[in-house]
Copies of this chain bind each other. A is one copy, B any other.
Amino acid sequence: MNAELRNIRFAERVPGVPQSFIREILKAASDPDVISFAGGLPNPSLFPLKELEVCAGKVFQKYGHQVLQYASTEGYYPLREFISRRYHSRFGLSIPPEQILITSGSQQALDLIGKLFIQKGDQVLLERPSYLGALQSFSMFQPVFKEVSLQADGVDTAQFEYVLKSSDIRAFYTIPDFQNPSGVQYSLDKRIKTAAILKNQNTILIEDDPYGEISFTDEQLPPLYSFLPGQSIMLGSFSKIIAPGLRIGWLAANPEIIRRAVIMKQASDLHTDNLGQYILYEYLSNYNLDEHLLKIRTKYKQQRDVMLDCLETFFPSSVSYYKPSGGMFSWLILPDTITARKLLRQAVNAGILFVPGDTFYASAPDQQTLRLNFSNVDGQKMRKALRTLAAMI
């Protein structure tokens, strides 16, 4: 290697960013014979491929050069209007388009939040377990992570209150609907209690919602944002409901935060891909999103049902699990006799992949947990693989 290399000094934050073990596993998942519960990928058979192709053609015809030129940092205004209307129709929330910033996937929203709020040593509170991408993104700004246990219906509120009152928590990050990795959805009661505890604290609520539209019931629970609009940032994404390759997400917050988030975004990538925003908006204004969502919800629910049936039928009672009512993931807790990493080594030999839960903790990882994705494995394969997995335990 080049001699000059010895001199390269990376910033202190660089080694602190955890590598994505998941992405490493996903590389193995490219083998077509492998049955993978490891990914976090939406099922590509549900992408509106034909429709987006038609929309791409229309966008070139209708808008010409303007889709290829530099565009506003805030994002394509009609797309922001669509998101605003959707918040209103889903939750009765009035969030004007000016309070919505289009981001390059909601992953970028996490980066912008880090830039806006996190200084080295600041305390950031995560659910336990939490989304790995948030851990990675926030890590760049060198916070001290604190954690609060997640139960089947949301955070442990007693613990939550204790942590918030005894520490100076800069931000609390949560995915209240069908969390990645656990699949947990906050109950209405837990939403109200969590918001009430946050209410008089000097803590920003970061509510990430990539899966909320993929519910297996018709129950519509209010976002935490609705209880704390001035103190919250809400993140959304088209990745799980339309197509992740377009990298289009958003951030909704009060005007003071948005104004600064725009400055951060401008310095980060000027603006999000313009062509993709136009195509997406063309799709949303020409097709019925609810009809499309129904297809996703129906298919994922079927696969979730098969998974729950397998967990019930094949697995020993020493294995416990959550029953997700939406999203893409189920969460297993193994008996003390085996760790998830050990099980994974056996599973890989049998051509089965999943993600050990220990990657989803900021500290003291729970070695007995694992995440199973159900959006990408069809019923028959799923039965076969889960039966094999159960036999290994």
Contact = CB atoms under 8 A, between A and B. Distances in A.
A39 B29 CA distance: 46
6 contacts: A1-B255, A10-B117, A14-B264, A57-B57, A70-B239, A247-B273
A136 B243 contact: no
**Which 4 pairs from chain A and chain B are nearest by CB?**
A2-B230, A245-B274, A4-B230, A68-B243
B204 A8 contact: yes
Number of copies: 2
A133 B60 contact: no
Contact of A5 (B8, B20, B230, B274): B230
A256 B5 contact: yes
Interface string A103-147: 011011001000111111010000000000100110111000000
Given A68-B246, A117-B10, A273 B270 contact: no
Interface in A3-36: 3-5, 7-14, 17, 19-20, 23
A231 interface: yes
A228 B73 CA distance: 35
A96 interface: no
A104 B269 contact: yes
Given A70-B244, A247-B274, A269 B111 contact: yes
Contacts of A133: 267, 270
B256 A1 contact: yes
Interface of A is mostly: helix
Contact of A111 (B11, B23, B268): B268
A223 B68 CA distance: 28
A105 B2 contact: no
A116 B11 contact: yes
B60 A49 contact: yes
A65 B53 contact: no
Interface string A232-256: 0000000100011111000000111
